Structure 1
């Protein structure tokens, strides 16, 4: 919650913004307790929300806990964001034809995030453990939109961090076009 972060003088930056939002509605979780379902927000470097509840309900079908997914990606997230920032600075400083390469990571980051997120959703849905109380077939969890698996409803949508990444990507493409025009005039 951005308002609470500002009130508590918390970190407000790309790393603190959630990139993706997921909610799971299950019959054994009353609407009064979870009106929007069990919420989890995915960040570049981790996740927040009702992780324990999500892991508990996923346990029933034999899914791994959230902490088991994307360990390397979460660990590298802050360094990746720092690297992208440094590449943008290099793009500003180096005015050569080939300097467009520096802007590719920032321009492609939203697509890359969604690709990795979708890949991990696939992994979670296709690597069930035998200890699950309910046996379900391998499935692709909903990566975008509203989906249904057995008697569960899932919601998966971009959050504020994703839209910030999209804005950065658009500005990166605009910077590339401006640089191309500048070099043509020289």
Structure 2
């Protein structure tokens, strides 16, 4: 087999494995589970969903109101009515610090983590803060993205499988989609930050002018200090992007060498 073709298949396989283990698998396993929990149907939550959630939440942030013995145990978190986030790896992390949130009570400020399929962290507290300044709750934004996310990633995974299995110029361009994931995420994330910051409501207790929240780095909104940085999931989609580009150029070289 052509060496360039072997490299292309190797890089694409690595990208597929990372995509599957980091995002697709936990998204499939946890799909619809939060709706079951919110509807009081905890008995309908499968043991597979619980196992995957417990595995992927090892060492992840839990709300300060979560009992210690419930950490990393979905069943106990449901029983204690703790705040439950999704299972997939977080892509971006935002936190707020303010005088009325002392370090003793909130050592990491008010952190919220953004995922392909939802949120985790102090989501309820963050929505309370948003309401205070006249901002919509976070779930208002990205509804379509969250709904189609799991299907988009499944289609993406299938596209990479086709890339690995077949050699054609057309299928070669499929891997440019996972290669663009970091840019697509940042563009979508930035758009919704702008939308939230420029669609403030009059019912906010604290009036502020429309603003653009900080996309990357540290900022200040009213009396809040904000921090916005990539989480582990973003670094992984960057790796997926680089592997996809390597696979693309290796396949291009192989196709030229084979005159396909």
Distance 1:64 1:9 in 2: 31
Q: CA shift at 1:94, angstroms?
A: 2.3
Moved over 6 A (4+): none
**Higher Cα Rg, which structure:** 2
Q: CA shift at 1:77, angstroms?
A: 1.1
| Structure 2 match to 1:56 | 128
| Structure 1 match to 2:216 | 144
Distance 2:57 2:120 in 1: 14
Contact 2:176 2:248 in 1 (8 A): no
Counterparts of 1:1-186 in structure 2, within 5 Å, are 3-4=58-59, 16-186=88-258
Bigger fraction of residues in helix: 2
| Structure 1 match to 2:51 | none
Distance 1:86 1:153 in 2: 42
Q: CA shift at 1:92, angstroms?
A: 1.3
| Structure 1 match to 2:44 | none
- For structure 1, the 5+ residue unaligned runs are none
Q: Deviations over 1:81-116 (max 9, x none)?
A: 111101101111221122222112100011101110
Q: Deviations over 1:11-42 (max 9, x none)?
A: xxxx6100110001122111111122100000
SS in 1 for 2:209: coil
Bigger fraction of residues in strand: 1
Distance 2:144 2:238 in 1: 23
Query: Which deviates more, 120-129 or 93-102?
Result: 93-102
Distance change in 2, residues 1:8/1:58 (3 Å): closer
Q: CA RMSD in A?
A: 1.8
Distance 1:126 1:60 in 2: 15
- For structure 2, the 5+ residue unaligned runs are 1-55, 61-70, 75-86
Contact 2:173 2:248 in 1 (8 A): no
